[in-house]
Structure 1
Amino acid sequence: MHSKGRINGLSDDGLGILETNGRPIYVPFAYPGDVVSVKKTRKRFGRILAVDFELLEPSPLRINPKCPHFGRCGGCIWQAMKYEHQLKLKAELFERITGTSAPIKGSPKIWKFRNVSNFIVTASGTGLKEYGNPLGVVNLSECPVFSNETPGYLRAFRNFLAETGLRPWNLKRKIGDVHYLQVREGKFTGEVMVNLIAHLEPFGDVIETFRDYFSSADSIYWSLKRDKRDDPRGEPKLVGGEPFIRERIADVLYLIHPNSFFQTNSYALKLLLKAVERFVEGERVLDLYSGVGTFGVYLAKKGFTVEGVEINPFAVEMANKNAKLNDANALFKVGKAEETPIRRYDTVIVDPPRKGLKETGKLLVTSKIQTIVYVSCNPKAFKLDYENYLRETYRVTEAVLIDMFPHTAHVEAVIKLERK
């Protein structure tokens, strides 16, 4: 299929849309105003996706990308767009999806902001997934959104792999020894954690060799992966250094563990926390889906009385450790959000998984809570929750967007809902 034309719009997930006589073609790495010639397409998730195209005339929104891997790597499809236009388009997409207009705050840093990277380890290279190709991997030499130290991390790992002879993962056949290398950085503490996700137990000299190659890291883990799913998860075993690294956001210290979920942009996280604090009413706060206590501990340090509920027992353990570390008046318990008794709280904070609130929405409606602060990186899930559960009882009174994910179409929203 050969098609030529001007990109006049964006899909909800940030792909350029080329209108044709038939169905639209979705063009990654293309922006409104670009003139493109599409040479090859494939059907993916019910859409026609361009997999080979030529840029004939650049949009005025374009700049030169900083990363040499731009155009293949799936991490940053908007990196060749001026940052002020990224913010404008994110706000427009959010309003188009949800019907809610909200101002947007940019990330204080748009380079070297990510505090974690999961490098997939395959026979065709070590790096990040190629956009639109489930079996394609970009063999990275650097990553300007993660760290100046990325080349060093990758060089050390490749030397370790060559010395030990461990087999990289084969994505097609689903066999191999090593699947992911995860590196976490405390941007405000300088602490580093290295975690190898492998399909075999650490053994003999291999552990010592791994430690030697990453001797500058503060924490070194080897995680045993017992399944063949393509994700950076395993059972972590500490093989060197400290069990945690720390990150400091504002005046709060957070402990980070391989199994912890923590917001990936340390610099914009402060803006997110302040937005949540500004929307909270009263003194007693229930933090549903509380995770490792990111919101709850911060609010407790600000003088609120906080209780948190989280289904993951390990996350609850980490949240209580974070509360104790910060001498914060917060208590976190294991439980399902949708089964949590709603007592005399002034505000409920919800930061649900990408699928949204679902049954928890019914619980909130039947409660007498006056204020809900809804935090979401998925505007479509918020829209469904609001339309299906919350609209009849609550109204949106304020919202703000925080750009936690520069160079992508994603954005974090903080939405204040008050009982009618």
Structure 2
Amino acid sequence: MKRIPADKKHLQNISVIDIAEEGKGVGKSEELVLFIEKAVPGDVVNVELLRKKKNFAEAKVTELLKPSEHRTEPFCPHFGVCGGCKWQHMTYDAQMLYKQKSVTNALERLGKVDTSGIEPILPSFETRYYRNKLEYTFSNKRWLTDQDMQSTEDHQMNALGFHVPLRFDKILNIETCYLQSNPSNEIRNSVRDFALEQNISFYDLRAHEGALRNLIIRTSTTGELMVIVVFAYPEEGQVEKVMRFIQERFPAVTSLLYIINQKKNDTIFDQEIEVFAGRDYIFEEMEGLTFKIGPKSFYQTNSLQAHELYMITRQFADFKGDELVYDLYTGAGTIANFVAKHVKEVVGVEYVPTAIEDAKINSGINNIDNTKFYAGDMKDILTADFVKEHGKPDVVITDPPRAGMHADVVARLLEIEAPKIVYVSCNAATQARDIALLNEKYEVKRIRPVDMFPHTQHVENVVLLELKDQTGTLDGE
């Protein structure tokens, strides 16, 4: 970005008119679009430019001249430094307004979809403590806040918390996180304090050395609790010491696990899991179904809202009981098992083999015998021969990753011509791109955004597409 002359760094009376996905307010000054840290639509502010390109600049508020009606006081002391909860300075009603707007804009602009009939976004039942999984990082390079810098005290440089945005080697020490219910905060703080007392080294993200690397905490609505400690290069006896401390301090932990990860990245999917105490899994429940959640299992991180999302998916499909359903990107088979009792058969496909094993286990636990699951790359699995073997689906449910569906998968769906497609997405932009391709044979009939992650820009969206007949109208009309 361009260097900004000192006499052009400050702009006055900027009206904030929108909010960007990364949580920055959007304003305009002449021909320049401004992305303003911690600004809320409706604010009028004076700003200082930080970085500038030809048509836009990044800025920070130097004076709040008129606060927006949508502005509220953030409840987390880490707001603005921590990389999460970037919309916490905006009322929840306003968050819903702008999430709905983002879905509408993406579908209209990228998918050429008529959104006049879009249904209102479903708010989250809980706006705090809604996550069932958090992953913290140990680091010997703590991020020092402005308050820390003003203090004359010597600072403890070991930290356990979250990465600071754009600084992979800097970790913000977290005292209280409002994303996961207790005893999550107590476990994190106790483990950190114990490690400091015992002089157990925290990981160096640049040098790749140190004993303690990550702490993962998973909870469930059943009250069960999983704690995973990831070590890198522990000294003799340190693993036993840390794990024994957690076991004795928190006897309610259902699943106490550890991993030795000496790779350059934090992923645990290729790592061996060691059970220190309890089971190697916890149970989650949803609408009378039981789901086994292991350390590597995928499960929607907002359990209560996941139930609402799946109910909307089922409602859009409007099952009669005799349908063959394809569940693409099935993950651990949560949606497949959720709808199984309402249909004739569900065929699930997923790229990750361990997720497919979880899906099969979850069918078995719930005595579901009308599901089949297959592991492999979607574009390679979903072939004409696959459809010939399993039958043409009456309904396709697809819930792809943020990148959306591969073009070959979209092409295959156009060939299959299932009467209905229910498209669940965590990225309205890629969803809109895919819908534009499906428009050749499908028409959008229903749209419903769902808020899974309060105080963030992220939003799920469910779209029902129905097959057109050869005259361009819908079957049955």
Q: TM-score, normalised by structure 1?
A: 0.92
Q: Using a 3 Å threshold, how does the CA distance of structure 1 residues 76 and 371 change in structure 2: closer, same or farther?
A: same
1:236-251 to structure 2, matched below 5 A, reads 236-251=273-288
2: CA distance, partners of 1:258 / 1:43: 44
Amino acid at match of 1:275: I
Q: Using a 3 Å threshold, how does the CA distance of structure 1 residues 3 and 182 change in structure 2: closer, same or farther?
A: farther
Q: Using a 3 Å threshold, how does the CA distance of structure 1 residues 107 and 304 change in structure 2: closer, same or farther?
A: farther
- Deviation for aligned residue 1:212: 2.4
1:264 aligns with 2:301: yes
- Deviation for aligned residue 1:306: 1.1
For residue 218 of structure 1, the aligned residue among 232, 254, 272 is 254
The alignment partner of 1:27 has SS state of: strand
* Match of residue 3 from structure 1: 11
2: CA distance, partners of 1:379 / 1:325: 34
For residue 337 of structure 1, the aligned residue among 371, 374, 378 is 378
The alignment partner of 2:29 has SS state of: coil
Q: Using a 3 Å threshold, how does the CA distance of structure 1 residues 355 and 10 change in structure 2: closer, same or farther?
A: same
1:95 aligns with 2:104: yes
For residue 230 of structure 2, the aligned residue among 197, 200, 203 is 197
For residue 119 of structure 1, the aligned residue among 136, 150, 161 is 136
Amino acid at match of 1:346: D
2: CA distance, partners of 1:118 / 1:37: 37
Amino acid at match of 2:239: V
Q: Using a 3 Å threshold, how does the CA distance of structure 1 residues 191 and 33 change in structure 2: closer, same or farther?
A: same
The alignment partner of 1:273 has SS state of: helix
The alignment partner of 2:99 has SS state of: helix
The alignment partner of 1:19 has SS state of: strand
Greater mean alpha carbon deviation, residues 124-133 or residues 294-303: 124-133
Q: Using a 3 Å threshold, how does the CA distance of structure 1 residues 126 and 238 change in structure 2: closer, same or farther?
A: same
Amino acid at match of 2:289: V
2: CA distance, partners of 1:263 / 1:43: 38
Q: Could you list the runs of 5+ residues in structure 1 that have no partner in the other structure?
A: none
2: CA distance, partners of 1:232 / 1:52: 40
For residue 121 of structure 2, the aligned residue among 77, 101, 104 is 104
* Match of residue 385 from structure 1: 434
* Match of residue 292 from structure 1: 332
The alignment partner of 1:105 has SS state of: coil
1:227 aligns with 2:263: yes
Amino acid at match of 2:135: N
How many residue pairs end up in the alignment? Answer: 417
- Deviation for aligned residue 1:167: 2.7
- Deviation for aligned residue 1:56: 4.2
2: CA distance, partners of 1:413 / 1:59: 28
1:357 aligns with 2:401: no
1: CA distance, partners of 2:234 / 2:280: 18
1: CA distance, partners of 2:270 / 2:75: 33
Q: Using a 3 Å threshold, how does the CA distance of structure 1 residues 49 and 126 change in structure 2: closer, same or farther?
A: farther
- Deviation for aligned residue 1:393: 1.4
- Deviation for aligned residue 1:233: 5.7
Amino acid at match of 1:87: M
For residue 307 of structure 1, the aligned residue among 340, 343, 347 is 347
Percent sequence identity is 32
Amino acid at match of 2:77: P
Amino acid at match of 1:193: M
1:148 aligns with 2:182: yes
Q: Using a 3 Å threshold, how does the CA distance of structure 1 residues 49 and 304 change in structure 2: closer, same or farther?
A: farther
2: CA distance, partners of 1:384 / 1:225: 38
1:327 aligns with 2:383: no
**4+ long deviations beyond 6 Å:** none
Greater mean alpha carbon deviation, residues 256-265 or residues 222-231: 222-231
1:161 aligns with 2:195: yes
Give the conservation status (yes or no) of the 8 Å contact 2:216–2:227: yes
1: CA distance, partners of 2:56 / 2:258: 39
* Match of residue 472 from structure 2: none
* Match of residue 29 from structure 1: 38
Give the conservation status (yes or no) of the 8 Å contact 2:363–2:371: yes
1:182 aligns with 2:223: no
2: CA distance, partners of 1:86 / 1:225: 38
2: CA distance, partners of 1:141 / 1:294: 33
- Deviation for aligned residue 1:405: 0.6
2: CA distance, partners of 1:182 / 1:419: 44
2: CA distance, partners of 1:318 / 1:218: 19
Greater mean alpha carbon deviation, residues 193-202 or residues 107-116: 193-202
Q: Using a 3 Å threshold, how does the CA distance of structure 1 residues 190 and 265 change in structure 2: closer, same or farther?
A: same
Give the conservation status (yes or no) of the 8 Å contact 1:177–1:198: yes
* Match of residue 420 from structure 2: 371
Q: Using a 3 Å threshold, how does the CA distance of structure 1 residues 53 and 271 change in structure 2: closer, same or farther?
A: farther
The alignment partner of 2:32 has SS state of: coil
* Match of residue 471 from structure 2: none
Q: Note the alpha carbon deviations across 1:361-414, whole angstroms, 9 max, x for none.
A: 111111121111111011111122122x31211111111111101111111111
Q: Using a 3 Å threshold, how does the CA distance of structure 1 residues 18 and 173 change in structure 2: closer, same or farther?
A: farther
Amino acid at match of 1:66: F
The alignment partner of 2:126 has SS state of: coil
* Match of residue 464 from structure 2: 416
Greater mean alpha carbon deviation, residues 26-35 or residues 378-387: 26-35
Amino acid at match of 1:2: H
Give the conservation status (yes or no) of the 8 Å contact 2:218–2:225: yes
Report the aligned-residue RMSD.
2.4
Q: Note the alpha carbon deviations across 1:246-277, whole angstroms, 9 max, x for none.
A: 11122221111111111111111111010111
Q: TM-score, normalised by structure 2?
A: 0.81
* Match of residue 3 from structure 2: none
- Deviation for aligned residue 1:19: 1.6
Which structure has the greater CA radius of gyration? 2
- Deviation for aligned residue 1:136: 4.0
2: CA distance, partners of 1:157 / 1:189: 24
